[in-house]
Structure 1
Amino acid sequence: MARSLLTVPLLLTVTAAALAWLVLGPAAALAFVALALLEIAMAADSSVPMAGIAGRLHSPARRLFLSLGIVAGVLAMRLVLPPVAVVLGSAEDPTATVGEAVSAPGAFAAHLQEVRPGLAAFGAAFIWLVFAEYLFNTDRASRRSWLGRLEARLAAVARPRVWSLATATAGVVLTTVLVGAADRWSGAAVLPVLVGGAAGVGAYLGSKRLAAWALHGGGATGTDTASIGTGPGAWRVHVYASTVVFERGLVVFMLFEILDGVYSLSGAGVFGADGLGALGQAAVGAAAIGVGALFLARLTSHLDEAAGLKRLRYLKAGAAYVLGVLSVLLWTSLLVPIPGALVGWFGTVVIGLALGSSLPWRAWVRRARLRVRSA
């Protein structure tokens, strides 16, 4: 099963690397492989919450979500969101901005850096609210706490949605105050953080409102999408799935473009391909994103088919805490620089710990002892 899971992404990676070598040179091929590996590592982390969502979708919607939906959503978020952020943040001409993103990714990355404070504040508030869904158990799902009594108490608080909004608002206000104090309350420093944080909260509420309309608009009750996955209202479940793709795509975008400071289409230069032209760097970056999106779709599909989240009960918790740490890092990055190495590996470490604690170690030890005794 693992071989069939990796066959298509690996073949695509090898083919793309060979083409990059022949057309753009060995430096471009090595840069592509490095970028693709980073994308695949991030896909491994993102596949866990994606699989959790896929399990709630009716079969026809699930197949579309696991194939076209994830790939298209990640590509759109990684390639479309940066120009949109620059246009909204600096009032640039949309056509010129898109052209610069493709033909001059280095210059575009500098413009993206200019709007970074507002964008980071937006992402931090939005992602914290997504994490708070798990932390305060807004769906009131039955689960076993990963981190013990404190997590169990937070999951049982009254009015969990109020707690979610209150903690997100506190994060926005606290960050704004700290940024203001550090920059002597300069409007140019304070306003982007405050407005970005408020926009993040608003975007989350809008996304959840759209998801609720998609789930309940056809007369369905509860959060089980199976009741609306068929018939004339089947398209609503795809709207719901799109809100999930948006959430995960935003997370991946924040990791790479904001925290790590590497714009996707100019990332080839960071990995030793500085001699490439702008279009060459853009092609290498876009190809690496495509490989990561395909790997994400394949790995999510495998987790869904194998019921991995049910057998490995703490994986979902690990994925949720990755979001919580990411939001805190985003807020922190507005005050102090965050090392790229920390950003690149913290998700893998958390998911690894969740996986390790999910494995039936005690059962394995008991079986080993019984085998020793019987021998």
Structure 2
Amino acid sequence: MQDSTSSSGDARRAGTGTAPILGYFRWAFIVTAVGLALGAALGWQTTGTVGGTLTVFFICAVLAVLEISLSFDNAIVNANKLKSMRPEWQRRFLTWGILIAVFGMRVVFPLLIVVIAAGIGPWQALVLAAARPAEYARIMHDAHLPIAAFGGTFLMMVGLSFFFDHEKDVHWVRWIEDKMARYATIRGIEVAIALLAVLGFARLQPDAAAQQVFFSAAIWGLLTFLLVEVLGGFLDHAQGARKTAAAGGVGAFLYLEVLDASFSFDGVIGAFALSQNLFVIAIGLGIGAMYVRSMTIMLVEKGTLTQYRYLEHGAFYAIIALSVIMYAQSLFHIPEVVTGLGGAGLIGLSLWSSVRSNRAEAS
């Protein structure tokens, strides 16, 4: 990739993309060591016992693995968008963007939910998280319905928009993808499909109040996706070549941030099943987020998406599956391990299909 050497410090070191794979995860390994050390220190401070320290250490490690397993598709989609961005905006996303992802979504976002749901100030929410973690976790759990509806709708639109593209000419599951590409010229077809899914799951909610909350949050998720698309399109078509290039980077940057937020909903909410301590959750999920960044850099630098042609397809199928799972979680609990393994399975299957296709062409 011509501009990839400017995408980050790791990218510059990688040069032509021939660096060892482990080299891309250098910062992720460093953050893992620091994060697990902080987790152990936090465990000792809160429990004062070796057993308690090891327990918190283990929970941080499990949360990191959970975040990584849930974010394979996130890294692939990030790489898909980054490869078309200017180098300076690649750098900005991989630096400032990851800070927003780690601290914004793993710390600020859970606090904001409690601030809005409980009607208290940010400082009171932070005190509540530190002093009364059980109450904090209860408020987060009660807010799961609108979060599932919002995030599920946004992710469904992301997945459908990939397949309903009349310019898309590489198909993995040809019998359905060929039809979706053909019908992509029908204006608003992906919006109609998403709204049908929203109406279907809204009707399954147990009472009228839950139906209204679900439908309202889902409409906001749809509106957010459309507004980000409109903003990106507007900025991309701004007058002036330099202005257009810079502004288009802003639109793509905002798109990736909202996308990362939607991916994070499931992990943040699910993390409270393992721990009610906000700081333990932030450490574990923050470690996982660094691996997402490293995987994104590797995919862009090595041109993996070009080499394995169906990898993107598997990721976007996983996104649609995740959106349906988030809808279903508004009705009953689905273990996070099912979500993670399901997405990883689809991506693994697409990778296997890509390897088979490459071998068939070579022979």
**Same fold? TM cut 0.5:** yes
Tell me if the contact between 1:121 and 1:194 (Cα under 8 Å) persists in the aligned partners: yes
- The letter for the 1-side match of 2:346 is V
Pick from 318, 328, 334: which aligns with 1:332?
Answer: 328
Determine whether 1:82 maps to 2:78: no
Tell me if the contact between 2:59 and 2:284 (Cα under 8 Å) persists in the aligned partners: no
Tell me if the contact between 2:229 and 2:255 (Cα under 8 Å) persists in the aligned partners: no
The aligned counterpart of 1:69 is: 97
The aligned counterpart of 2:13 is: none
Deviation string 1:131-161 (CA, Å, 9 cap, x unpaired) is 1101212xx3333111112211111105455
Count of residues in Structure 1 that have an aligned counterpart in Structure 2: 335
Deviation string 1:197-232 (CA, Å, 9 cap, x unpaired) is 11111111122122122212235xxxxxxxx5xx35
The aligned counterpart of 1:305 is: 301
Shift, 1:300, TM fit: 0.7
Tell me if the contact between 1:136 and 1:160 (Cα under 8 Å) persists in the aligned partners: no
Shift, 1:305, TM fit: 0.8
Shift, 1:32, TM fit: 1.7
Structure 2 length-normalised TM: 0.83
Shift, 1:320, TM fit: 0.6
- The letter for the 1-side match of 2:24 is L
When residues 211 and 338 of structure 1 are mapped into structure 2, their CA distance, relative to the original with a 3 A threshold, is same
Shift, 1:77, TM fit: 2.2
Deviation string 1:311-343 (CA, Å, 9 cap, x unpaired) is 111111111111100111122222233233312
The aligned counterpart of 1:272 is: none
Structure 1 length-normalised TM: 0.80
Deviation string 1:164-206 (CA, Å, 9 cap, x unpaired) is 1111111121122222xxx3xx332222112111111111112
Deviation string 1:89-138 (CA, Å, 9 cap, x unpaired) is 5544444234424544432221121122122111121111111101212x
Shift, 1:364, TM fit: 7.6
Pick from 121, 124, 145: which aligns with 2:149?
Answer: 121
Pick from 188, 213, 237: which aligns with 1:216?
Answer: 237
Counterpart-to-counterpart distance in 2, 1:199 and 1:30: 37
Pick from 144, 157, 180: which aligns with 2:170?
Answer: 144
Determine whether 1:164 maps to 2:190: yes
Pick from 244, 250, 253: which aligns with 1:242?
Answer: 253
Determine whether 1:252 maps to 2:248: no
When residues 365 and 204 of structure 1 are mapped into structure 2, their CA distance, relative to the original with a 3 A threshold, is closer
The aligned counterpart of 1:46 is: 74
Tell me if the contact between 1:71 and 1:297 (Cα under 8 Å) persists in the aligned partners: no
Counterpart-to-counterpart distance in 2, 1:346 and 1:104: 34
The aligned counterpart of 2:208 is: 187
Pick from 14, 23, 37: which aligns with 1:4?
Answer: 23
- The letter for the 1-side match of 2:33 is V
Determine whether 1:198 maps to 2:209: no
Counterpart-to-counterpart distance in 2, 1:293 and 1:244: 17
Tell me if the contact between 2:149 and 2:217 (Cα under 8 Å) persists in the aligned partners: yes
Tell me if the contact between 2:39 and 2:57 (Cα under 8 Å) persists in the aligned partners: yes
When residues 190 and 299 of structure 1 are mapped into structure 2, their CA distance, relative to the original with a 3 A threshold, is same
The aligned counterpart of 2:7 is: none
SS at match of 1:337: coil
RMSD of aligned alpha carbons = 2.6
- The letter for the 1-side match of 2:195 is T
The aligned counterpart of 1:262 is: 271
Deviation string 1:32-65 (CA, Å, 9 cap, x unpaired) is 2222222233343321111001101011112222
The aligned counterpart of 2:48 is: none
Deviation string 1:239-277 (CA, Å, 9 cap, x unpaired) is 22332332332233222134xx323xx8446xxxxxxxx
Tell me if the contact between 2:36 and 2:60 (Cα under 8 Å) persists in the aligned partners: yes
When residues 57 and 357 of structure 1 are mapped into structure 2, their CA distance, relative to the original with a 3 A threshold, is same
- The letter for the 2-side match of 1:136 is F
- The letter for the 2-side match of 1:124 is G
The aligned counterpart of 1:285 is: 281
Shift, 1:290, TM fit: 2.4
Counterpart-to-counterpart distance in 2, 1:71 and 1:252: 16
The range that moved more, 91-100 or 163-172, is 91-100
The aligned counterpart of 2:14 is: none
The range that moved more, 311-320 or 82-91, is 82-91
After superposition, residues 130-141 of structure 1 pair within 5 angstroms as 130-137=158-165, 140-141=166-167
Tell me if the contact between 2:154 and 2:262 (Cα under 8 Å) persists in the aligned partners: no
SS at match of 1:157: helix
